Chains A and B, each alone.
Chain A
Amino acid sequence: MAFPTSRIGLNFLFLLIAFCSSPPATAKTLTIATASNFHSTLLKLVESFHKLNPSVRINISSGSSGSLYTRISMGAPYDLFFSADVDTPKRLDGQGLVKKNTRFTYAYGRLAFWAPGDNAKISVREMIEKHQGKLVIANPKIAPYGKAAEQLLKLYSKDSKKYQLVVAENVVQAHQYIKGGSVVAGFVSYSQLLLRGGQARGYIAVFDDKQLEQQVVLLSRSREVELALEFLRFIQSDGARKIIEDSGYRLPKAGGDV
């Protein structure tokens, strides 16, 4: 009785060992870290890049710029980093974690205030007052969009305790809280309100005096420098620039330096 059971067990073990051996390595893989606001746009860019380079595999990790900064300084194996600000790439550059002359501005992000369930025709300031009881922002300590939102609120009121803020991990999560209905209003990136064709419903205000300059860098630990440079050249091409603009960003001047 015991014998067949143990043989099955043994076979199972062999199967497991065979199964555990690592998957075959793909030819060329580019790993990109992106600030979460740019994730959906980057997916479109990657799709278009794939048409030119079908054999290349591209992995994307998204998060707040601050949390990605921590991962990169801890040795995360990313090739490119699309930040939502200038400070973070600059800091990495200062630490020698960036390949020389690869830091440049790829887009200007736009901070937006969104209240999907409200169509009142009033100014943003009144709108924010109206919803001061529960507003969501991205974590200002690690997310540039959250920081910009916080600065804006400080301009509106010296009393920092006045607004009850729900703090999301990053700007995509902030958007998700509003969209899911758990928070009525808050600050997101304008590009998120343009997803799936048209503009999202409800009250939208864009703060164009509060543009977020967003920079990209090629990280010095990259093992796919050629491919990474090719991708950087690609995102400066006319086709790519149109994708970025259509996704709700403003563009830097044409004619990059990479």
Chain B
Amino acid sequence: MFEPVLLSLQLATSATIILLIVSIPLAWWLANGSSIFRSVVWATTALPLVLPPTVLGFYLLLAFSPASGLGKLIVDWFGVQLAFSFAGLLIASVIYSLPFVVQPLQIGFERLDGRTIEAALSLRANWWVIITRVIFPQLKGAFLVAFTLGFAHTLGEFGVVLMIGGNIPGETQVISIAIYESVEMLDYAKAHLYSVGLLVFSFIVLFLTYARNSFSLKRKGE
């Protein structure tokens, strides 16, 4: 009963942690460069925003399947099969939610006030102090939004998961798939339970994030 919920939370949490690790350097680089190569990378990371999930799902399915060259290589080298497994879902989620984490961070980095860092440097502050006391306070909001959107978006994923997950309870049957299946099986009670739960949870998370951001803006204004 609660297995899809747990699985969804696990997937979203793991994906968000990986996403933050990947996105911090990527967003920093995107915020500070200006080559044609940067535009290429920027456009690539934003692709999941515009493409239907079926495109990503289709190519990942081909790539992950042991019937394909790459999929077989992964099985031979690492002993894991990515298609229809939790590991595969995790990789797909990281790709799929990438723009939702990169973009807020990128905006945060772009808005970073360089003069505050220069001032701190001129006062001979060491880098640890600069990062924790000067840079991070300016980026707290951006990190919070990136974390929330990455988490919430992974939680709400459906198309990609349906295509490469294969609806296996305990492995790939996340909450969105469980809802789809309950509706198909005419088990509306279960579908309601999951849907209302997800609705309330998502609202609370978004509300807390936005409320916190607007309060901190207000405080700054005073």
Contacts and interface: CB of A to CB of B under 8 A. Distances in A.
A19 B86 contact: no
Interface residues of B, number: 31
B186 A179 contact: yes
A207 to B, nearest CB: 23
A61 interface: yes
B81 A22 contact: no
Contact of B166 (A13, A76, A172): A76
B184 A36 contact: yes
Interface in A36-75: 36, 39-40, 57, 59-63, 71, 73-75
Given A20-B13, A61-B168, A74 B186 contact: no
Given A16-B17, A59-B170, A75 B132 contact: no
Given A176-B183, A179-B186, A74 B137 contact: no
A74 B61 contact: yes
Contacts of A39: 185
B7 to A, nearest CB: 8
B133 A2 contact: yes
Interface stretch (B46-54, B63-71, B99-107, B108-116): B63-71
A24 to B, nearest CB: 11
B84 A76 contact: yes
A81 B182 CA distance: 20
A173 interface: yes
Contacts of B10: 19-20, 22
A80 to B, nearest CB: 13
B213 interface: no
B181 A2 contact: no
A77 B14 contact: no
Given A39-B185, A176-B184, A179-B186, A22 B86 contact: yes
Interface string B105-136: 00000000000000000000000000011000
Contacts of A22: 10, 86
Contacts of A29: 170
A164 B6 CA distance: 43
B160 to A, nearest CB: 14
Nearest to B85: A77
B167 interface: yes
Q: Which interface class (under 10, 10 to 19, 20 to 34, 35 or more) fits A?
A: 20 to 34
Contacts of A17: 17
Nearest to A70: B61
Contacts of B86: 22
B169 interface: yes
A61 B161 CA distance: 14
Contacts of A77: 81, 84-85, 168, 171
Interface of B: 6, 9-10, 13-14, 17, 61, 65-67, 71, 81, 83-86, 132-133, 137, 166-171, 173, 181, 183-186
30 contacts: A2-B132, A2-B133, A2-B137, A6-B132, A20-B13, A20-B14, A20-B17, A23-B170, A31-B168, A59-B168, A59-B170, A61-B169, A62-B184, A74-B65, A74-B67, A74-B83, A75-B65, A75-B81, A75-B83, A75-B84, A76-B83, A76-B84, A76-B166, A76-B168, A77-B84, A170-B184, A172-B184, A172-B185, A173-B184, A179-B186
